[in-house]
Structure 1
Amino acid sequence: MVKYSIKDLEKFSGIKAHTIRIWEQRYQLLTPKRTETNIRYYDESQLKYLLNVTLLVENGFRISHICSMSDEEFNKNLKEVAEKGLQTKEDNHLSVAVNELVLAMLELDEQRFEKIISGSLLQRSFEETITKIIYPFLKRIGVMWRVGEVSTAQEHFIYQLIRQKVIVAIDGLIDRKKTGEKYLLFLPKSEFSDLLILLFTYLLKNRGRQCIYLGADIPFRDLKQVTEITKPDVLLTFVKAPASKIDTQAYVYELSEKFEEKKILISGNPYFMDELDFPKNVRLISEVEDLIEMLTE
């Protein structure tokens, strides 16, 4: 069983730890459990409950009212909030949407996933859904996965649902005359999680850029061969696997040296990417907004 600290609850729900403690003391919102050494912790059901409470709070319910609800009333209000399309201010709406996606992942609930994505697409473009909901959600679960709070099955479940949406969106783009730079998108050898590269492909194609998408696990030798054939202007890659800082730095240098005439964009492990040395033809893409800003320069 995964054990969550109060800081974990703060991180995943957006509710300050101090506020959670006040809610516990004043309204008995949650009752923390204790380890054999008397350390407080919370289980997955309590995290899910807090995320649902957050959903109601963001929709105007007072915490005192929420804590006095019966289970039946709580679930009824939760359902009504979901069905009315999350009538909140924009920032709160986005935060709620991300929390809803977390719940959909934890509960392996495809219907819940479809509802939140469909609700977003009624209000904003697919690109805005990517930048304001999907990408922040992926950043959150990246943290959750690294500390063992999301199983591989849960991660794969939600990744595949998002991946399907992105592929359909790419296929649905109107074919326009592509006169911009040509991008070659790929993952290095032993990298298999291509979701972020697919998101980048959509953003690029939506702006009329030419894209050659190679996918995952591309050996360096094959990359050189494809580059010679297709002659791209820009190489774009993503390093996520738990490679060391030294190995990643070596890969950056190798890319820069072997493709010195090309512009190279690279994204990856947030824990040390910004500490690397980037040669003049290599640019770090730390956030999806970095790519969008670059495309508008």
Structure 2
Amino acid sequence: MGCNTVRYAIRDVAEMTGIKPVTLRAWQRRYNLVQPERTEKGHRLYTQRDVETIQRVQGWLAKGVSIGKVKALLESNTLPTEHDSSQRLDEAEQLLEALSVLDGDAVGKSIRFVLKEYPLDIVETRFVMPVLTAIDFVKMGQRSLQYALFRTLLIHQLLLMIQAESKKSGKRKYLLVNLDTVGNLFAWLFYARLVEQGGRVIFLDGVDDIGALFNKEVIAGYHGIHLFAEKSLSEKHLSVIREQRSNDLVPVYVSPVIEHLIDVEYDRKSQ
């Protein structure tokens, strides 16, 4: 059986690669990166070779290469490890120019494009993080304005994407609690990724006390609770989290920073 004998539906490919169906369609329509076969009813069918091509595209994007430049690199059979690229997407440069003159229309257009064309992990590491770093070097007055504009429009676009994805969510319901400041962009990106994975997600933004969170009546309807933070948490918070992770009421998942804080505190007490 040849490598192209098996055919995968677009949903299967999305699960295999982590790329949303809407993004896979955009890569085909706009950039001709992959041309899947079609059934009589017009449904896309991907071969194993198509899946491998998509994974190569992901490799280039992880290197910070703009989606519009990937096709030529694929055709030249250049390997991603051979490419010396910048650590941010080309679209980040365009967005920073728009931010410098507070052009809200251009900023919104740039964010919409990036969210549609790139996976969220690339959006976070090659777009959001470099943009925030660049804004940090702007003069104080302008810095506040640019950050406010970027945060407002990015959250707005993420919310639109989340609402669209939520319409296709399953019956399992999860609770996401942001223990960081209200409007933390990485908490919102985490929210969007959870929604993409399926299930209904209820998001509590900027919670500063979780003492009453783990009441049986409160969590009874949830299949899991996700806790997010990028800042240090009090020992009181960490104690609550450790206690709830050890019981069987509901699965409790924590972001990497919280996991690190728990491990550090555990090591300190063990010494």
Q: TM-score scaled to structure 2, two decimals? A: 0.52
Does residue 254 (structure 1) correspond to residue 240 (structure 2)? The answer is: yes
Match for 1:185 among 176, 181, 192? 176
For 1:1-297, list aligned pairs within 5 A. 87-89=68-70, 95-120=89-114, 124=117, 128-144=118-134, 151-173=143-165, 175-176=167-168, 178-180=170-172, 182-188=173-179, 191-225=181-215, 228-241=218-231, 243=232, 247=233, 251-261=237-247, 262-268=251-257, 274=260, 277=263
Matched residues, number = 183
Compared CA separation, residues 87 and 187, structure 1 to 2 (3 A): closer
Local SS of the residue matching 2:227: strand
Does the CA-based 8 Å contact 1:97-1:133 persist in structure 2? no
In 2: Cα distance, 1:217 partner to 1:174 partner: 23
Does the CA-based 8 Å contact 1:185-1:212 persist in structure 2? yes
In 2: Cα distance, 1:279 partner to 1:178 partner: 37
Compared CA separation, residues 231 and 256, structure 1 to 2 (3 A): farther
Compared CA separation, residues 107 and 267, structure 1 to 2 (3 A): farther
Deviation, structure 1 residue 147: 6.7
Identity of aligned residues (%): 15
Does the CA-based 8 Å contact 1:233-1:263 persist in structure 2? no
Residue ranges of structure 2 left out of the alignment (5+ in a row):
1-65, 72-84, 267-271
In 2: Cα distance, 1:117 partner to 1:104 partner: 11
Does the CA-based 8 Å contact 1:98-1:134 persist in structure 2? no
More deviation in 223-232 or 99-108? 223-232
Q: Which one-letter code corresponds to 1:239 in the other structure? A: A
Compared CA separation, residues 175 and 111, structure 1 to 2 (3 A): closer
Q: Root-mean-square deviation (CA), in Å? A: 3.9
In 2: Cα distance, 1:260 partner to 1:149 partner: 47
Local SS of the residue matching 2:214: helix
Compared CA separation, residues 105 and 230, structure 1 to 2 (3 A): farther
In 2: Cα distance, 1:101 partner to 1:89 partner: 20
Q: TM-score scaled to structure 1, two decimals? A: 0.48
Compared CA separation, residues 132 and 163, structure 1 to 2 (3 A): same
Residue ranges of structure 1 left out of the alignment (5+ in a row):
1-84, 281-297
Deviation, structure 1 residue 168: 1.0
